Structure 1
Amino acid sequence: MRPTPDADGVTRVFPRELWDDPKIGTLLREVGFAPDDARNILPTADDYIALFAAAKKRLEERTEAFNREMTMRHGYCRAVPFLVIDNTIWDGEHGAFLYAQLKLIGYDEWNVLMLAADVRTKEACDMAGHPGTVPAVTEVMTERVIEWKRRYEVALEAFGVTATGGEGLTREQFEAEQDALRREIVDNVGWMKSRIISELLRIQG
């Protein structure tokens, strides 16, 4: 990824000067790219701020809807979200890999558990209590994110070799690898959710 914008102010995965090279530009077009394709344009910080704000608002709305529904069922509910891959990871050095390369947002449902904010909710709704931060979960998920990022970078390097004239991954193969990695992350987080709930219920009695 290119860290600085091109002369026109747009930051591209494959910078504009590559397209002006007779050999490389031709190869990039042959594998299906164009300089101003949406997939070749990197979002700005403002784009990501707006994306996260919209996702956070959706989470707040889902939380309110969850509490309304559970209150109708049980007479009372005050649940709050727990992020399996938590904010310390999203805001850290590996977070951009998840949201910029894999288009995953931590506030979306795949990464969220609803847990009881108080004892009354825990008892009325038969729900595990929210533990706050869980360093052990953060540590495990950080290790996994680092490994997923390493695998992505291997695939990206192989694709970059192809795009500049070498033998590596085709665009279709790279996108398949990317999609498979995204599915693996979502599935792994889903598996972690059940483990977290089981462990919380065990500890909290």
Structure 2
Amino acid sequence: MFVQVIQGQVTDAEQAHAAMDRWMEELAPEASGWLGTTAGVTADGQFIALARFESADAARRNSESPGQDKWWHEFTSLLSGDATFHDTEDVVTDIQGDPDSAGFVQVMQGAGSDPEHARDVMGRHRDEWATFRPEILGSEVAMYDDGDYTMAMFFTTEAAAREGEQKEVPAELQADMDEMNSLAAGPPAFFDLKQPWLYSPR
């Protein structure tokens, strides 16, 4: 899988949402290899999207299409500055339910000192985590630039996510969390998408 992370400050969240809906209607049917997009705008106007493709080649073909170029030019008129991009084929997914039904998505960005070790820790105790936090429908981690990452967590609702955060973590799972924290190069940044825009091929 290939993921492109796109970020920027938008001037109008509703217009940005309408533009994404228009992409889905007009361009998605021709986007060969596109697997889906998770996007949204935070309360302070930060737009973030994770676009998934079968491969880097599929993403490149899409970006080179005239329709995509025109759409992106129009979308950038809604940004107050330049957009930033992170492209990667180093992607880890953990699907426990239907992420497209999520009512709340939390995106985290940070950096780690040992991506391979982090990948190993993320692969542990998946069944136990699913039982402990049933409101988590899945996660998607895009890793790039020797340790940087963007992680999207899909929740049934924000209320359920906040309630789950308050639960006492079993010792086995707490050990996983402590190990992950030991690999972090500083605290992550959080982007709460309270009304996520979730797109998949029809």
TM-score by length of 2: 0.27
The structure whose residues are more often strand, as a share, is 2
The structure whose residues are more often helix, as a share, is 1
Which has the higher relative contact order, 1 or 2, with Cα contacts under 8 A spaced 6 or more apart?
2
TM-score by length of 1: 0.27
